[in-house]
Structure 1
Amino acid sequence: MLVARRVDEEAIALQRQGVLPGYAPMKGQEAAQVGSAAALDRARDFAFPNYRDLGAAVALGVDLPAYLATHLGTWHGGMYDPLASRFAPFNAVVGGPVTHAVGWAMGARLDGTRGVALTYFGDGASSQGDVHEAMNFAAVYRLPVIFFCQNNGWAISVPTDRQVGGGSVAARAQGYGIEGVRVDGNDVLAVHEATLAALERGRAGEGPTVIEAMTYRMGPHSTSDDPGRYRTLAEEQEWAERDPLTRAAAQLPESVVAEAEQHAAEVTRQVREALTAMGDRPGEELFDFVYREPTKALLAQRRAWKEWADA
């Protein structure tokens, strides 16, 4: 959790320095992400993140400079190996990774591995039609998938109570006939236990689970956002007192916390140096991996780009 917090802070600083074009901070959501991702079995499960899930990437051991290469604009979806890390390329489409997770879960059901898909999305994304379709499909086929909603209070600038009907994402599970759980998203142990229980249900063929982790986005929606325009300082201070890192540190010896700080500082240094040293990728890669068999239009675009680049 501390590594995620420090790297997140460094990413914001790098954006302000012009190294990263843009970034979506996740400060305050470390417990929800680390507690859930750490429960996965990397031999058979798979996580499908959105653009604010750095903590989950840390928990699954993803190469962080390679992960942040997407924010650097160097590579689409990150330069790390998704199969090795069990962490799919993160998705910037709101609600996008949810349908991907359901498709993967269908494959896991068919191949008999008893693997479970864990997909992340926010309270804002829960209003997307894709999320409804994914939950309904998963419920009908009793697929092994965990719909993990990080309810951080704000869909960009719109509060949850103005865009989530009924006031609860977890309550929607009842309409699909599946399990729905609401958990304190700032309590890493509570999140971990809820995720383990959902994984057991998935492996046992009992179908999907909706977990709604109640947390708070302590920073802006993105580095181009000003949360002071839509929420109060009093609200931010109230949630700062529930900081998941402070709560976790209170349960550990001071020596362990100090050691964690040293480790986080070293990881952050390595990430900063690797990102600032990362050069441009070959321009031809813009046209690779789009289609298995390139279309005529794509080939024409590549030729046009090549002529322009060589001019």
Structure 2
Amino acid sequence: MEQQFPMIQVVDENGNLVNEEFKKHLTPSFVQSFYEKLILARTFDRKAISLQRQGRLGTYAPFEGQEAAQVGSAVALDNDDWLFPTYRDHAASITFGHSIPRVLLYWKGRVEGCVAPEGKRIFPPAVPIATQLLHATGAALAEKRKGTRNAAIVYFGDGATSEGDFHEGLNFASVFKAPVVFFNQNNQFAISVPIHKQMNSKTIAQKSVAYDIPGYRIDGNDIFAVYFYTKRALERARNQEGPTLIEAVTWRYGAHTTADDPKKYRDQEESIQRKTKTDPVLRLERYMKNHGLWDEEKASKCQDEASEMIEAAVAEMEAFPEPNPGDLFDHVFETPTWTIQDQKEEYMHHLRGEGR
């Protein structure tokens, strides 16, 4: 099956173009825009970890190493499409137009962090594993029934393929030709469990065969491969040809979350080696240098602008008013049940130091 689903690349680890099909699209402005988005994503991730260590955010799920998979796929979306992220897909959400201060508020435990900007169809991050695949399939099917050309993309990790929701989502989408792209980021660990202990399949892409839908296995650190093949899958969806499964093979350098210690289950030397060989930002820089697109001054300015944007977002996030404790209860049902209302009243009495 690995031969049936070979690893697809447009640019290799050394920054060499290995697929001429897309060469005409790689204009200087196109390449530069991708670089800027990657730098913004990495700057955000590192800042969020720093904020968590300072006690200014709660537990956080880092994504460094997976930027190309998230940014490249999100750029491929149209404005009216749907995006269903996991708890690790903040780079995809930000690239698609989510508010950076509100993404930070999510990690501060604020309900405002679940609210996308007006007009952006971005679901709150899914913490339960694989549940968002069913939501994405449903939203895509609704768009189909309304007669639009809008599509949905749903992100999930390799561990999600062990859940029943994964299979139910793909089966339902296949049967009804829902315009949805199932985008797997195979970072090769489900928390502490390596992929060879999760499944006997050689690839995740081959699982598409069971549902008679296209499957691509792409180099998830090659932002151009990610973009062009996600774009291809989205066009198929828009043409009412049904879903596609994409396996983007990548790697997370750090912990599963800031509450995790990866040294207990993974040789961190491999992460160090990958940073010098297959890193998505480094690969794009190598491509730019190989093709006369690299500008040291422009790159430095790009980093400065990203840092300024993130610092401004942090300031905006921390300027938000104090949270309303009632938020814990007010968004469970549209109309609170008597049990929820009773719990809320009891909790409010407790906060005020009053008896009941």
Q: With structure 2 as the length reference, what TM-score do the two structures score?
A: 0.84
Residue of structure 2 aligned with 1:90, choices 115, 125, 148:
125
Residue of structure 2 aligned with 1:156, choices 184, 187, 191:
191
- Per-residue displacement from partner, 1:48-101 (whole Å, max 9, x unpaired)? 0000011102211211111121110122752433x5222211111111211110
* Structure 1 equivalent of residue 173 of structure 2: 138
TM-aligned CA distance change 1:173 to 1:220, over 3 Å: same
* Structure 2 equivalent of residue 278 of structure 1: 320
Q: Which has the larger radius of gyration?
A: 2
Does the alignment pair 1:28 with 2:65?
A: yes
* Structure 1 equivalent of residue 26 of structure 2: none
Residue of structure 1 aligned with 2:101, choices 65, 75, 100:
65
* Structure 1 equivalent of residue 351 of structure 2: 309
Residue of structure 2 aligned with 1:249, choices 278, 285, 296:
285
User: CA separation in 1, counterparts of 2:87 and 2:45?
Assistant: 12
Task: Describe the SS at the equivalent of 1:91.
Answer: coil
User: CA separation in 2, counterparts of 1:249 and 1:75?
Assistant: 38
Residue of structure 1 aligned with 2:85, choices 40, 49, 52:
49
TM-aligned CA distance change 1:209 to 1:309, over 3 Å: same
Task: Describe the SS at the equivalent of 1:246.
Answer: helix
1:74-153 aligned at under 5 Å gives the runs 74-75=110-111, 78-81=114-117, 84-153=119-188
Identity of aligned residues (%): 41
> Any unmatched runs of 5+ in structure 2?
1-37
- Provide the alpha-carbon RMSD of the alignment: 1.4
Letter in 1 for 2:283: R
Retained in 2: the 8 A contact 1:60–1:86?
Answer: no
Retained in 1: the 8 A contact 2:107–2:113?
Answer: no
Q: Give the Å deviation of 1:224.
A: 1.1
Q: Which moved more, 1:188-197 or 1:68-77?
A: 68-77
Task: Describe the SS at the equivalent of 2:40.
Answer: helix
Q: With structure 1 as the length reference, what TM-score do the two structures score?
A: 0.95
> Any unmatched runs of 5+ in structure 1?
none
Letter in 2 for 1:49: P
Q: Which moved more, 1:128-137 or 1:264-273?
A: 264-273
User: CA separation in 2, counterparts of 1:172 and 1:248?
Assistant: 30
User: CA separation in 2, counterparts of 1:54 and 1:292?
Assistant: 27
Retained in 1: the 8 A contact 2:180–2:243?
Answer: yes
Letter in 1 for 2:225: A
User: CA separation in 2, counterparts of 1:253 and 1:209?
Assistant: 35
User: CA separation in 2, counterparts of 1:206 and 1:258?
Assistant: 44
- Per-residue displacement from partner, 1:202-247 (whole Å, max 9, x unpaired)? 0111110000000000111000111111111331123212110111
Task: Describe the SS at the equivalent of 1:100.
Answer: helix
User: CA separation in 2, counterparts of 1:279 and 1:76?
Assistant: 11
Matched pairs, number: 309
Does the alignment pair 1:262 with 2:299?
A: no
* Structure 2 equivalent of residue 19 of structure 1: 56
Letter in 2 for 1:55: A
User: CA separation in 2, counterparts of 1:9 and 1:234?
Assistant: 20
Retained in 1: the 8 A contact 2:174–2:212?
Answer: yes
* Structure 2 equivalent of residue 37 of structure 1: 74
Letter in 2 for 1:72: K
Task: Describe the SS at the equivalent of 1:61.
Answer: coil
User: CA separation in 2, counterparts of 1:260 and 1:77?
Assistant: 26
Retained in 1: the 8 A contact 2:83–2:93?
Answer: no
User: CA separation in 2, counterparts of 1:277 and 1:22?
Assistant: 20
Q: Which moved more, 1:266-275 or 1:58-67?
A: 266-275
* Structure 1 equivalent of residue 236 of structure 2: 201
